[in-house]
Structure 1
Amino acid sequence: MDRAVTLSRTRLDEAQAALAASDPRMGAVIEQVGPCTMLPRREGTHFGHLARNIIYQQLSGTAAATIHGRFTALVVETPTAKGARSASASSPDPRAVLNTSEEALRACGLSTAKVRAVRDLAEHVIDERLPLQAFDRMSDQEIVDALVRVRGIGPWTAQMFLMFRLGRPDVLPVLDLGVRKGAQRIYRTRALPDATRLTKIARNWRPWASVASWYCWRVLDLEDAAGW
């Protein structure tokens, strides 16, 4: 599959049909859950999306939203040219992050570790060690390799970025607990699948592993999920 391919409504329809044809158990889940809605999130910027992911780690939704709102207000990007993208107008700016003191960032509610992480992210973006503008031309693995060099971003966060921000169709988050639990129910495995077992199960999912993973999450939400 072309590495620049991203999920669209047409491709989601194609993915659902292909998964149902190659894997009857997944097909049954697709029929019960309904259409996949995993379209890429285009609002804001890549930097803002990654900073949000760091801030939300290990926090409840309400607390994380409050801290993220304060952080964004403090380091908001200021458009410098007439007609600048409106999506960027309320997005964190990496230079503003580095120009803001650690004390001010901590006052937003960020821990010391998260202050260091968002500043490290900003540094990687500014010096182009993290080439955000080139992501559309890079393979999934190249993007993961670049992201995990940033403090506070591990393989799972990188994979979620590929799936939900970039809309890459064939990402398999083998360590994600929800995907593993969903696969256990769908395929009736006695034990929770480990990375090796899940990779084998996912052979029929290619090249739509992202979509199949989404259905693994959704099967856990079904009222009669225990029947799988």
Structure 2
Amino acid sequence: MARYPRGFDVEAAGAHLARVDRRLGAWMRRIGPIGADPRWKKPFDPVDALARAILYQQLSGKAAATIVGRVEAAIGARKLHADTLGRIDDATLRACGVSGNKTLALRDLCRRAEAGEIPSTRQMAGMHQDEIVAALTRVRGIGRWTVEMMLIFRLGRPDVLPVDDLGIRKGAQIVDRAEAMPAPKALLARGECWGPYRTWASLYLWRIADAASAVAKPAPRSQQ
């Protein structure tokens, strides 16, 4: 069975992208090296990561962090998991600022975790990224984009291109000097040449979009 390591050779990725896409390569030189993400080597709990992704949805980082802090205080733990979230009822979650829909999503996540439906990081190491997407998007409130952020920032999979992400679409528009952002389908075709390092292209496209918008600090992404 194939094994998928966490992280990849970023120097090889950069050299490949510069060779196959001169426009992107020019922007990469302008942005400068960004380095491998240290989280690729750190352990993490997929259930905790998904629970936090649910809580952060459609909120500013500050507001979401406040709610997460209240939930952690209510459960008496820093780990959001089936056993810890099970210590409090729905009314307490709502009192922490968790919406009804997010409460249902958290309960569904916990139920699936207890049933063994959420693969561990060890299990994910033997799964293709499409299998991971299929397994995790069964959870209420978890869409493909959320799982793609996990694949990029937590698992360090090398060939992920979140074509629905506005920042990546904006970055591609800037690289190609286009009048409008590419549609997801067009971006998927545009990014074929970036494989097998589309994750590295994605990371640079975010930086390019931020730089063009004169953003002093890169915009936070899910699970960052």
Counterpart of 1:35 in structure 2: which amino acid? P
Which whole-Å CA distance do the structure 1 matches of 2:170 and 2:145 have between them? 16
Answer yes or no: is 1:174 the counterpart of 2:160: no
Residue number among 73, 94, 112 corresponding to 2:100 in the alignment: 112
Give the letter aligned to residue 125 of structure 1. Answer: A
Q: What is the identity, as a one-letter code, of the residue corresponding to 2:86?
A: L
Between the two proteins, the alignment pairs up a number of residues equal to 210
1:39-188 aligned within 5 A: 39=37, 41=39, 42=42, 44-76=44-76, 90-132=78-120, 133-188=122-177
Which amino acid in the other structure matches residue 201 of structure 2?
A: A
Shift of 1:35: 1.4
- Would you say the 8 A contact 1:184–1:190 is kept in 2? yes
Whether contact under 8 Å (2:109, 2:140) holds in the other structure is yes
* Distance in 1 between residues matched to 2:131 and 2:142, nearest whole Å: 15
The C-alpha deviation readout for 1:131-181, integer Å capped at 9, x for no partner, is 224111111000000111001101111111111111111011111111111
SS of the residue corresponding to residue 210 of structure 2 reads coil
Is the Cα contact below 8 Å between 2:44 and 2:154 reproduced in 1? Answer: no
Runs of 4+ in structure 1 over 6 Å off = none
State percent identity of aligned pairs: 43
- TM-score normalized by the length of structure 2: 0.87
CA distance in 2, matches of 1:25, 1:55: 37
Q: What is the alpha-carbon distance in structure 1 between the residues aligned to residue 90 and residue 60 of structure 2?
A: 23
Q: Say yes or no: does 1:33 pair with 2:31.
A: yes
Deviation at 1:27, TM superposition (A): 0.8
Query: What does residue 207 of structure 2 align with?
Result: 218
CA distance in 1, matches of 2:126, 2:75: 28
Secondary structure, aligned partner of 1:182: helix
Contact 1:7 1:40 in 2 (8 A): no
The Cα RMSD (Å) is: 1.9
3-state DSSP of counterpart to 1:213: helix
SS at 1:123's partner residue? helix
Q: Displacement, 1:76? A: 5.0
> For structure 1, which segment, 59-68 or 190-199, has the greater mean C-alpha deviation from structure 2 after superposition?
190-199
Deviations 1:30-83 (A, max 9, x none): 101111345163364222111111101111111110101111233355xxxxxx
Show the counterpart of 1:84. Answer: none
* Match of residue 199 from structure 1: 188
Hey, what's the Cα distance between the residues in 1 that align with 2:58 and 2:204? 24
User: Structure 1: where are the runs of 5+ without partners?
Assistant: 78-89
Q: Name stretches of at least 5 consecutive residues in structure 2 with no aligned partner.
A: 215-224
State how far apart, in whole Å, the 2-side matches of 1:165 and 1:176 are: 17
